[in-house]
Amino acid sequence: MVTIPNDIKKMIYEKDAIIVGTVDQLGICNISPRSTYHVTDKAIYWYELFEHKSFHNFSNNPWISVAVFDTTDLNGYQLKGKASIVVDKEEYYHINLKILNRLEKQVKRKILEQVNKQPFKIIKFTPKAVYTLRPYEFADMPGVLEADPGIGKLLCGVDFEKYFGYSKKYIE
């Protein structure tokens, strides 16, 4: 299981939003910001208040990407992994409090207004690979990868054969 490095957690908490990327059943991609979240060593959690495109996409295909970036330093990270709905009541309660405690007063009021209108879900994203978004040659290679051979196809994207000499069919 991937442990989210401290520098990535720090960057996520310094930014106003993370970007969630999903793909629908036809292969059409979608990105969507999330601003109500909590990060642990093993997961990123967020409120899913509206259940629109992203929610429907990862309900059918749990593989998603999460990105965070800093335009000043040209630095950032992409995490690839799986999303799931938090169903455990104790985990839900604990994470809900963590997210609420992090929100600023004005944002908290807007979120609570939305929450009171309808029940909402909390999504748990468990990363399997972490990539840098710095613009250099090895940005295709994960800096952190779960030691599960079933996710080998995440390695190095299109340059896997170039860097390691393995064909894609070997890892899929």
Tell me the whole-structure pTM to 2 decimals: 0.80
> 167 pLDDT exceeds 90?
no
pLDDT tens sequence across 116-156? 666 789 999 999 988 888 766 455 555 655 555 555 555 55
Which residue do the tokens 């390695």 mark? Answer: 155
What's the CA gap between 169 and 10, in Å, rounded?
Answer: 37
What pLDDT was estimated at residue 98?
92
What's the CA gap between 139 and 132, in Å, rounded?
Answer: 6
Give me the CATH topology for the region 6-146.
Pnp Oxidase; Chain A (2.30.110)
* Whole-number average pLDDT of the chain: 81
> How many of the other CB atoms lie within 10 Å of CB of 11?
19
Share of the chain above pLDDT 70, in %: 74
Q: Kind and range of the H or E element at 147?
A: none
